[in-house]
Amino acid sequence: MRFEGNLQTSSAPRIIKKPTQIKMQKPNKRLSNQTAIVTGASSGIGISIAHGLGRDGANVVVNYFSNAESAEELAHLISVDKTCGDAIAIKCDVSKENQVIEMYKQTINHFGTVDICVANSGLQKDAPMHEMTLAQWQLVIDVNLTGQFLCAREAIKEFMRRGPRPEVSKALGKIIHMSSVHEVIPWAGHANYAASKGAIVMLMKTIAQEYGPIKIRANSIAPGAIQTPINRSAWETPEALNDLNKLIPYKRIGQPEDIAAAAVWLASDESDYVSGTTLFVDGAMTCYPGFATGG
């Protein structure tokens, strides 16, 4: 189970939304004339982030690895809505350097540049540490960490090539890493996943430190329990949901839209002085609710 995943006060689990089921809110257009790449945007949190960026005026690249139908559906939904920017779907395995480079090339050819990178792709291959294979370890590190490195590196190259556009954004470019509460909370049975998320902290902070002088901002979002297909077992039954609620002081399951709202804000000029930090969107999960009564 990926803890970017789940909580709720009601005993009845919500139905996961498909792209066509997401209701468009009134757009603010904070991201007009900007282009965003969102990796892993064909399901779960990625769908809502891509939709949210488009709703605020950004052109969006809906990246996918295997779910072409969902990605194309979402890109079409954004494109035909006159309140949104444009959108295209691009297939890319973010762990492969040549494919990431090609994704950026296609994006620049289509939209002219890239302003925002949301490195959202992630997966799990769970096992007890003593049973975890090297292949399980490597796959998670390759996608969750190396994929974020490759996407951020290509974004930085494009930001520097293109130069500032102060009429569009105060920052030269924005990078948003998708982390997890497990960048600070250990997770037995998920050593590869937790290690990848812990490493993202230093990747993000180093980018913010190294490229801050040229106005590139880098931040992370750390979701707590968000209701997505990846952790369906944690919220599908009332019993599982009640158990999960014990981990959340705020006593509700997070929704992908909660993460999308944070991503749009971090991509906008409203957060221009925010860089090098992790924004936890977790209903206070990282406040260790087990100690609420003294431990």
CB neighbour list of residue 185: distance below 8 Å, 6 or more residues apart: 3, 194, 285, 286
Residues 179 and 122 sit within 8 Å (Cβ to Cβ): no
Residues 141 and 195 sit within 8 Å (Cβ to Cβ): yes
The residue ranges of DSSP E strands in 111-206, in sequence order, are: 116-119, 173-178
Identify residue 192 by its one-letter amino acid code: N
Residues 13 and 236 sit within 8 Å (Cβ to Cβ): yes
Residues 177 and 221 sit within 8 Å (Cβ to Cβ): yes
Report d(CA 60, CA 69) in Å as an integer: 16
Cα 214 to Cα 156, 157, 170: the distances in Å are: 10, 12, 11
Which 8-state DSSP code applies to residue 226? Answer: B
Report d(CA 54, CA 31) in Å as an integer: 8
Report d(CA 120, CA 253) in Å as an integer: 20
Residues 221 and 176 sit within 8 Å (Cβ to Cβ): yes
Annotated active-site positions, please? 193
